[in-house]
Amino acid sequence: MTRKVKTSGAFVIAAMLLASCSSKPPVSLVTPVTKQTHPASRSQNQEPVRGVWLATVSRLDWPPVASVNPNNASTRVSQQQQALKNKLDNLKSLGINTVFFQIKPDATALWQSKILPWSDVLTGKIGEDPGYDPLQFMLDEAHKRGIKVHAWLNPYRVSTNTKPSTVAELNNTLSDQPPSVFVLHRDWIRTSGDRYVLDPGIPEVRDWITSVVAEVVSRYDVDGVQFDDYFYTESPGSFINDNPTFQKYGQGFDSKADWRRHNTQQLIEQVSRTIKQLKPGVEFGVSPAGVWRNRSFDPAGSDTRGAAAYDESFADTRKWVQQGLLDYIAPQLYWPFARDAARYDVLAKWWADVVKPTNTRLYIGVALYKVGEPSRKEPDWTVNGGVPELKKQLDLNESLPQISGTILFRENNLNQPQTREAVSYLKNRWGS
């Protein structure tokens, strides 16, 4: 059973302010290996992570859509809690020892927050009290079963669409306590990828995100905190209009791209320091896109031809590892061995080399969601139920000493007919 740790708001704010820093603009596109700022605590005897992502955005994995019935709160709570317990029982039987639980799918919360309104995935309405604290419930139930919980947050997303009905819902939180950041700080909001997002170039935005993390870490016994790969997220027809922000804050940078990477770097530095100040034992990790940079753009990059986090999301993920800002990194290597543009083994070995001189642990994100799904470019996922491909990936992960675990994306794919053979294989390999 976990115990909530109460920390005064003043302490959280003080820690956040101490974590704020301003660093000089980068002088080179190729990041050198630099001294670790506070080495991550790597235990040589630590059990390999056998993890799974449990997504709540759009109720992908949980809570059950059928449970969202605002007219019967007690039934809803019972259904949601029972569904979570059933999932944890199943994960335990499969040998899963870590759940990456999405507690902030957008600018709403799956915990009792003083900064964010309650998530609508729980009740169907933003700001409505679900009648229990899902994060605390997850911590209690998972820890009871010997499963660790990492709080997974999407830092910048405010909403999953820009529909008038969504705008109306967000505006209706104005009289709530707390209201949405959408109405409190409308000047922070941009449109990107057909979603509302926070502008990463505004210093107060980074402070706000850091305060959200500080609230979670100070009040809950989470084992870790993880950001996903959504930093600057744009689509060809929907770019972030951050030109005014660049004009205000981008002095001294050679390019807008350098400035954007600097902004992402600032967020990671602030959050890393804040977590270590509040609870040094809580791990901080990021799960970025699998390709840092392609070798055709950078001699330090991987022999790949995929979308690169450095150039597409303006996230210098390799640098964060080198600087010791992360306890772990979990790149999403969602391709098979035969995918020439981004081979699984090429990328796994590249990342193993990156973490080798550091104390940052490496967990590999594996595409369980592709198993059993027909694909012209990646037919290996359907050969013998995807088991041979999955076996090759897990074998490689366990053969490289720098790889400390595997995380499956995502939980609900463990329950689908097309993954039955793969799940049976996992249970034989990992289960007790």
pLDDT above 90 as % of the chain: 86
Q: What is the mean pLDDT of the chain?
A: 91
Confidence grade of residue 374 (pLDDT, cut at 50, 70, 90): very high
State the average pLDDT over residues 375-394: 98
Please report the pLDDT score of residue 71 as a whole number.
74
Q: Is 168 exposed, middle or buried (0-12, 13-18, 19+ CB in 10 A)?
A: exposed
Torsion of CA 328, 332, 337, 343, to 10 degrees: -90
pLDDT in tens, 271-312: 999 999 999 999 999 999 999 999 999 999 999 998 999 999
Task: Kindly list the structural domains of the chain, giving each domain's residue range(s) and its CATH number in brackets, ordered by start.
Answer: 45-430 (3.20.20.80)
pTM beyond 0.95: no
Report d(CA 221, CA 135) in Å as an integer: 10
Closest by CA position to 322, among listed 38, 33, 41, 23: 33
Beta bridge partners of 101: 54, 151
Confidence at residue 21, expressed as pLDDT on a 0 to 100 scale: 42
Write the pLDDT tens digit of every residue in 202-240.
Answer: 999 999 999 999 999 999 999 999 999 999 988 888 899
Neighbours of 129 (CB within 10 A): 13
